[in-house]
Amino acid sequence: MTRPDPSSDASVHSLHQPTRNPGLPLDVSRLENLAVNTSAVERRAATLATRRSLKKDHQAAWLLKAVTCIDLTTLAGDDTPGRVERLCAKARQPVRRDLLEGLGVADLGLSVGAVCVYHEMVPAAVAALADSGIPVAAVSAGFPAGLSWREGRIAEVEASVAAGAAEIDIVINRGLVLSGDWQALHDEVRAFREAAGPAHLKAILGTGDLGPLRQVARASQVAMMAGADFIKTSTGKESINATLPVSLVMLRQIRAFEEETGQRIGFKPAGGISTAKTILAYQIMMREELGRPWLDPTLFRVGASGLLGDIERQLEHHLSGAYSASHRHPMG
């Protein structure tokens, strides 16, 4: 394999560290003027996987880049500190050493973007990742429904940061979107922004519950105006999670926000992204819609647990010409 070039689209090296989003006062007129051509969005999304042909070394380089953008996640009801510790071990060494050596990239220090856990598991994750440079992300604010007592949700955000979480994935109250109460939504996300302090704030929109794509666009704008550093599609618990059309709408709102404010906002699809083919389609979309900076983990994350195993299988196929059994790629 050709070693990934730091100047290429799929370099595994960070490009920059974006500044925290200071947010803006709510501008309802911006929401009233939003329109989404659903048919055009669906047509565009359907062509994404065919617009670039990523083969052999190039595909392997893009998949290695994808690894650095994974928020390796466990959000199960039976999570234990031991499970989290095993997940963190995988986060430190996400791809088997023999595969990295075969690809000629064993010295790159490859790791995932973050480890994402419930608040209760934050101390275990922080301890397991000590000195690794890998941040811990905590899902907070009444995850996954976002309907619990507001003061309790704010307190959970503060507690997760105090426990060592460097990133907070909050979930919005989708009812505020469905009822069009944009000021309440702005105030809610703003309160979470303030509670998160120095931590990066990812706002989960729960797009599968929001209805038409125009509502997704509006919710995206309000979250960014309120100070979200990332906007995220889903909790992974909805019946419909991340999709390319929904993601395309959100990316175009990110682009419009940057054009208007100069502030770069990150994007995180989550739920149902479990194959190398799927993540390549998302990477192509990020590159074509927003540009090279959004291939970097500072601006692109993917919430996943099973994706890493399939990426490893594809990398082994690249080296050996044969697909391996899933048990050769354990999660830790």
Secondary structure of 283-306 in HEC code, one letter for each residue? HHHHHHHCCHHHHCCCCECEEECC
Question: Which listed residue (169, 209, 229, 296) is catalytic?
Answer: 169
* 285 backbone dihedrals φ, ψ, rounded to 5°: -60, -45
Would residue 169 show up in a list of annotated catalytic residues for this protein? yes
Q: Which run of H or of E encompasses 57?
A: helix 56-68
Q: Is 232 a catalytic residue?
A: yes
- Among 7, 16, 13, 51, smallest CA distance to 280 is for 51
Determine contact, residues 311/276, Cβ cutoff 8 Å: yes
Catalytic residue among 9, 209, 268, 296: 268
* 79 flagged as catalytic: no
Residue 205: closest CA among 195, 213, 216, 194: 216
Q: Which of 65, 229, 232, 310 is the catalytic position? A: 232
- Residue 45 CB coordination number (10 Å): 18
To the nearest 10°, report the CA torsion of 234, 235, 241, 244: 30
Per the listing, tokens 């992300």 go with 137
**Owner of token pair 């050996």:** 320
Closest CA to 195 of 241, 231, 162: 162
**Which residues are designated catalytic?**
169, 232, 268
